[in-house]
Structures are given as structure tokens and as C-alpha cells.
């Protein structure tokens, strides 16, 4: 499937091919994705079921290391949108990038529209959703007098391409109390959160269970964010 998309993109650059499957099955098309990157082919890989949240299919179908591996692959845009606004933004970015393939990691779960997200923000890779946020974890921290900034990191590659001034405006070097949370490997996150920060994620294989239960068991919760924020602040 990936090879066919490469053929379409390279034979007829006016066409924009896309293919879709579970994110974990990029293991089977990794060589084709790498050829997309090497060949500067504008292929859009729409990868669903992006985490342990896919549930009862269990660890064989639950991606863990895949995000980190594609962030490490040259000339690939790895995009993980958080809601409908960011998905639209990610698709726009994928269409406009003519010289590199894009991978969109999408959830199986229904996702609410989050306050502060935007199509335009995705173009920067990472952007501020809110300062002194009113989200669940942030609310708890505000009660203790803490100021909280929530940043959405849709694409590490796009963020790295921004100016130093922009990156500093989003992640000030003076702020070392940083916490990342992602349903996937924590590999690479300490580059962003720093030595004093905390990276919440999943560094083991998944398990078979309903999405809500497995997220709680693996510590991907608002409570975990609150505890980590208290540790670093």
C-alpha cells in the first residue's frame, strides 16, 4: 500500500495519495515510508488507533515506540493532533508540504474540541493553548497558587523549524518546571522538558483492557500530571 502511494506521488506529482491503517502496522510499511522520505514523495499516511487506547486487541496492536521512531526518521513530518481543529491543521500542513511525507497519528476514541486549539497553531508545530489554564490538572495546581501554561506539541519537526525567538516565546528557557504527557514512549521528551522536567508516558508494552481502564492502569491521567507538576515546581 505504501509502495503504491509512492508510485502515484512520484509518477504524477499533481495527485496527493494517502493510505490509512492502524498506526502499529507502520512496522510493515516502514521501508515504504522511508522511501517516501528519501524520494521527497508527498504521501499522506493516515494512521489510526494511535495508542494503548485501542483497547482489547492488546499489546500486539498498541503502538508504543512508533512515534519516537518516526520523529527520528529524516524528512518525515510526524503529526499527532489532539482534536478536530488540530486534525484539520495537520491535514493542511500535509497537503502543503510537497517535498516530504506526513504521518498523522489519530485516536480511536472520540475527542472533544479543546479550548484554545487552532488550525493555524499546528503550522508552528508547538503552540500555546492557554496560560493559567482552566483544564482539570491545571485547575488543581492553580488552587495552590501556581501559574500553568499548556502547550500543544503536534509536530516536533515543525517546531524545530521555527525561529529561536518563537521557540523561546512558547518554552521560555527560564521555566524549568516542565511536564510532558503522551500515550507513547517517553524517548526524546527530555530534550523538551529538560533534566529537571518529568516525562509521563509508556515505556513498556500495552495490555488488553478497555481504554479508560488501561489509561488509568498505565498512569496516563490528570492525577499523574498534577503529581509530576508538584514534583518539578
Measure the CA–CA gap between 168 and 196, rounded to whole angstroms: 17
Residue 98 DSSP code: T
- pLDDT 10s digits, 187-233: 999 999 999 999 999 999 999 999 889 999 999 998 999 899 889 98
Q: How many structural domains are present in the chain? A: 1
Q: Domain containing 155: what range? A: 2-232
Q: What's residue 62's pLDDT?
A: 96
Residue with cell 493559567: 132
Summarize pLDDT for 118-141 with one digit per residue, the tens: 999 999 999 999 887 666 777 778
Contact 44, 38 (CB under 8 A): no
d(CA 25, CA 7): 20
Summarize pLDDT for 137-160 with one digit per residue, the tens.
Answer: 777 787 777 888 999 999 999 999
Q: Which CATH number do you get for residue 128?
A: 3.40.50.920
DSSP state of 59: G
Task: For residue 185, give the nearest of 168, 165, 200 by alpha carbon.
Answer: 200
Strands (E), 53-101: 77-79
Is 0.85 topped by the overall pTM?
Answer: yes
Amino acid at each position: 500500500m505504501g509502495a503504491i502511494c509512492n508510485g502515484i506521488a512520484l509518477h504524477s506529482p499533481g495527485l496527493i495519495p494517502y493510505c490509512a491503517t492502524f498506526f502499529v502496522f507502520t512496522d510493515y510499511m516502514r521501508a515504504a515510508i522511508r522511501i517516501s522520505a528519501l524520494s521527497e514523495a508527498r504521501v499522506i499516511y493516515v494512521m489510526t488507533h494511535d495508542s494503548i487506547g485501542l483497547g482489547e486487541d492488546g499489546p500486539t496492536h498498541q503502538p508504543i515506540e512508533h512515534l519516537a521512531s518516526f520523529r527520528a526518521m529524516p524528512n518525515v513530518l510526524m503529526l499527532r493532533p489532539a482534536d478536530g481543529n488540530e486534525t484539520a491543521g495537520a491535514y493542511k500542513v500535509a497537503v502543503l508540504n510537497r517535498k516530504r511525507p506526513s504521518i498523522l497519528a489519530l485516536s480511536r476514541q472520540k475527542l472533544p474540541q479543546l479550548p484554545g486549539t487552532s488550525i493555524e497553531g499546528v503550522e508552528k508545530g508547538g503552540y500555546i493553548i492557554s496560560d493559567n489554564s482552566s483544564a482539570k490538572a491545571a485547575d488543581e495546581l492553580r488552587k495552590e497558587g501556581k501559574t500553568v501554561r499548556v502547550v500543544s506539541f503536534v509536530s516536533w519537526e515543525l517546531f524545530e523549524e521555527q525561529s529561536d525567538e518563537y521557540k523561546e516565546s512558547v518554552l521560555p528557557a527560564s521555566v524549568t518546571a516542565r511536564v510532558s504527557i503522551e500515550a507513547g514512549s517517553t524517548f526524546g521528551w527530555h530534550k523538551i522538558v529538560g533534566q529537571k522536567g518529568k516525562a509521563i508516558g509508556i515505556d513498556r508494552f500495552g495490555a488488553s483492557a478497555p481504554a479508560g481502564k488501561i489509561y488509568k492502569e498505565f498512569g496516563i491521567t490528570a492525577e499523574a500530571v498534577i503529581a509530576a507538576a508538584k514534583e518539578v515546581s
